[in-house]
Structure 1
Amino acid sequence: MSAADPFTVEYDPKALKEVSRLDKPVARRVIKAINALSADPRPGGVRPLVGYPGLWRIRVGEYRVVYTIKDTELVVLALRVAHRSSVYRGL
């Protein structure tokens, strides 16, 4: 995040745990994608989750990041990071 980025990125403890379990190259790509949300929390390709108001997802290869945007606080909160086959379970 640079000084010009309007949003701050935060991680839910569950998301941090999920990132720590990924292979290092995958984890680096996921963290880079999440941190990029500080400049634009709704980049091209991002989708709101159907049936889950206020939740968004981005694709990072075979993995998905589920997050919420707190516009009034200028915060992007990463909630889940998991393989696409299991990321939506338990939301």
Structure 2
Amino acid sequence: MGRLAKRDAARIISFLEERLATHENPRELGDALKGHALGGYWRYRVGDYRIICDIQDQRLVVLVIEIGHRREVYR
């Protein structure tokens, strides 16, 4: 997260730790992605940034795949 402004990085970390990690079902907070490249992943919105994740139920893990600005993250 070195390329993000400190404020944006803090918002993303806060979302991951305080909302996503403590929520019983992380799918309720995000949107399923479709398509060839990102199908099966989940998207979370934090301001102008998007967090792309793989939810691994069998391991109780939400693996962050990508964090980027909304105009760049889907490319």
The two structures have a TM-score, normalised by structure 1, of: 0.70
Q: How many aligned positions are there?
A: 70
Which of 19, 28, 33 in structure 2 is aligned with 1:43? 28
1:71 pairs with 2:48: no
Q: 1:77 deviation in Å?
A: 0.4
RMSD: 1.2
Relative contact order, higher structure (CA 8 A, sep 6+): 1
Larger helix proportion of the pair: 2
Q: Does the C-alpha gap of structure 1 residues 43 and 32 become closer, same or farther in structure 2, counting only changes over 3 Å?
A: farther
5+ residue gaps, structure 1: 1-18
Q: 1:38 deviation in Å?
A: 1.6
- Counting aligned pairs with the same residue, the percent is 43
**Which stretches of structure 1, 4 residues or longer, exceed 2 Å deviation after superposition?**
none
